[in-house]
Structure 1
């Protein structure tokens, strides 16, 4: 398993016997994601996540490493790392850059281990890239940016919702929307809403007593 440091741009190899507490990101892929090949360069370890991309001196970096800062997905990775750092985590796992998808063996192992990795994380940040911040909006209302996010329509996010002990939802601007914790009604609503989107032929009654507000 690879983890991304939250103080500087560096990947580290860890093993199940000595994994430190880590955060994990759940998201939907967008344009120009930061991949393993973009972030693996040793020279990037000289760059701090606190440095804004505009102020980073990239002249000493290989051309391929410079591309990391220019990708649209860089800010998502940077903001996730900074959030994890503020919450006391030294590491975060992000699928786009922590898995070498050019290796079929590694990709297969990652797919088989994914549920456990999310389960073992101390917290999961669910980033809703298409949900804007609106303090006056009730996230439980049908039609809200929260419920309309495509994050809820992707099959793989179901395990990323269920497996972690704690899931915190963030908007496009990284404003906190709410969280999933064990035995909370909010958790029940989120899970059932996700199931309804993934299995549209089912009714609220099929998923238990709680319903989403219409």
Structure 2
């Protein structure tokens, strides 16, 4: 399992068994149509360097990962897992392993953060009405993601 260390903002790899007590947060989100930060992007540059060098600066996927790391630091959780960058999708073996392990990864996480990119800022409209229109609620696998940590 590849995780992002929230202090170093670099990948660390772990061999995880069901008896492990690895403390990590996991992100549930709808992928952005503008693209996401991939494994290769993150491996080559890291979150810190992406910000410092301006590479993909302002990219929604980068913001999503940075905010997830920030929340985990505040919650005293040392690692985060974000599917878009923690899985090398160019490796069919790794992708298959990740798909087969995902249920357990969500179940074993300390917390599952949900990224609602299209939730409007506070308005007079009720929160229930705004939430129902978020793309995240249209995804079939989100129930599994938030009910297992």
Query: Relative to 1, partners in 2 of residues 1:137 and 1:67: Cα closer, same or farther, differing over 3 Å?
Result: same
- Unmatched 5+ stretches in structure 2: none
Task: Give the whole-Å Cα distance in 2 for the aligned partners of 1:23 and 1:48.
Answer: 22
Higher relative contact order (CA 8 A, sep 6+): 2
Alignment of 1:62-211 (within 5 A): 67-69=55-57, 71-134=59-122, 136-140=124-128, 144-164=129-149
Query: Are 2:27 and 1:25 aligned?
Result: yes
Indicate the RMSD between aligned Cα atoms, in angstroms. 2.2
Please state how far the C-alpha of 1:44 moved relative to its aligned partner: 3.7
* Cα distance in 1, alignment partners of residues 136 and 130 from structure 2: 11
Q: How many residues align?
A: 146
Deviations, residues 128-182 of structure 1 (Å, cap 9, x unaligned): 1110231655433xxx111211111111212112222xxxxxxxxxxxxxxxxxx
d(CA) in 1 for partners of 2:8 and 2:46?
8
- What is the TM-score normalised by the length of structure 1? 0.62
Shift in Å, 1:68 = 4.8
Q: Which residue of 2 aligns with 1:15?
A: 15
CA distance in 1, matches of 2:12, 2:137: 31
Q: Distance in 1 between matches of 2:142 and 2:57?
A: 27
Once the two structures are TM-superposed, the CA of residue 78 in structure 1 deviates from its matched residue by 0.6
- Could you tell me how far 1:69 is from its partner in structure 2? 4.0
Structure 1: 5+ residue stretches without partners? 59-65, 165-214
Give distance in 1, aligned partners of 2:96 and 2:49.
31
What is the TM-score with the length of structure 2 in the denominator?
0.86
